[in-house]
Amino acid sequence: MALPKKNMLDLKIPLISLGVFIGIGLIVWWFRHIMYFYLFTGIGFLDFGTRVLVHYYPKIRQFLRLCLQLLLGSFLLFWLGLVIGVNFQFPEIFFDAYEGVVTGALIQLVVARLILPFFLGNAFCSRACWTGFFFEMTNTKKQDKSKNVPRSKIIAWTYLISLVCISLFVAFLWNPAADIETRKWWIIGENLFIISVGFILTFFVGSRAYCRILCPFITISGLISPLSLFKITPINTDNCTNCKKCDDNCPMLIDVNTYVINKKRINDNTCILCERCISSCKHNVLKLSAKTKNN
């Protein structure tokens, strides 16, 4: 029996997302190893299942998203990172390059920051990033807009370039990628550094401060995310009561309400598609959807 038209349309995002991950898995398998096909296909099916469940149980949207983020983040950090020794942090790109190898960091850059943003923007940050999960779970209070420090391109690119220079210098003196045990300790150190800096910054400049202001991966994917096929889109603007709960619940401190008033898709390059603005709206004003001729 064919599904109702409404359900078929609602499956568009899950099916496209699944297709993208399977396609990425096939490409990386061709260049690297079949395990990457299993990895990305598995992520694709998990995302597919989560999005289908959200369609039928929208009230647990955030619970399902956080469960997915915890599952994927834990797998990437604890199993692939601390057990296998795969480092996904930005400096590892240059450590690996110095050794002439390709591992998790470069694969994350290409897949999550150069390919995925054309379809789902910075969605990796809200569905797989373990540091992002930590920041979100440790900052559950209502967002304080007075602390909002906008993402500065100068600060973001200065931090990224500084990381590149420091990474090359460290790789030249003593490359952590040369030894598996050293690499594992470096993984622990890098993640503790990011969590510590982000935790401190949050008190001074607001929610997910490291992600919003410094993260080198968002600096890169943010160049592409404005071109994303899927974005948070106002669909029932007449229902908006201007309560601004969408603003209060945005972990990236985006002025969602202004986009709603102007009937524009959220085009902020720091949007991580966490869909908390959608969950917070009782009037179904917002929806994650593809670009159409009307928006």
DSSP β-bridge partners for residue 232: 288
The parts of the chain modelled with pLDDT lower than 50 are 1-9
What does the alpha-carbon distance between residue 20 and residue 120 come to, in Å, rounded to a whole number? 10
Q: Answer yes or no: is 72 within a domain.
A: no
Q: Answer yes or no: is 260 within a domain.
A: yes
Distance from the Cα of residue 40 to its chain's centroid? 15
34-56 vs 12-31: helix crossing angle, rounded to 10: 170
- Structurally, the chain folds into a number of domains equal to 1
Collapsing DSSP to helix, strand or coil, 264 comes out as coil
Q: Answer yes or no: is 267 within a domain.
A: yes
* pLDDT score recorded for residue 6: 45
* pLDDT score recorded for residue 116: 92
Q: Answer yes or no: is 271 within a domain.
A: yes
Q: Answer yes or no: is 276 within a domain.
A: yes
What does the alpha-carbon distance between residue 250 and residue 180 come to, in Å, rounded to a whole number? 39
Cα distances (Å, whole numbers) of residue 92 to 73, 142, 147, 187, 284: 18, 35, 32, 9, 42
Q: Answer yes or no: is 47 within a domain.
A: no
What does the alpha-carbon distance between residue 217 and residue 238 come to, in Å, rounded to a whole number? 36
Provide the CATH number for the domain around residue 250: 3.30.70.20
Q: Answer yes or no: is 55 within a domain.
A: no
Q: Tell me which residue range forms the domain holding 256.
A: 231-290
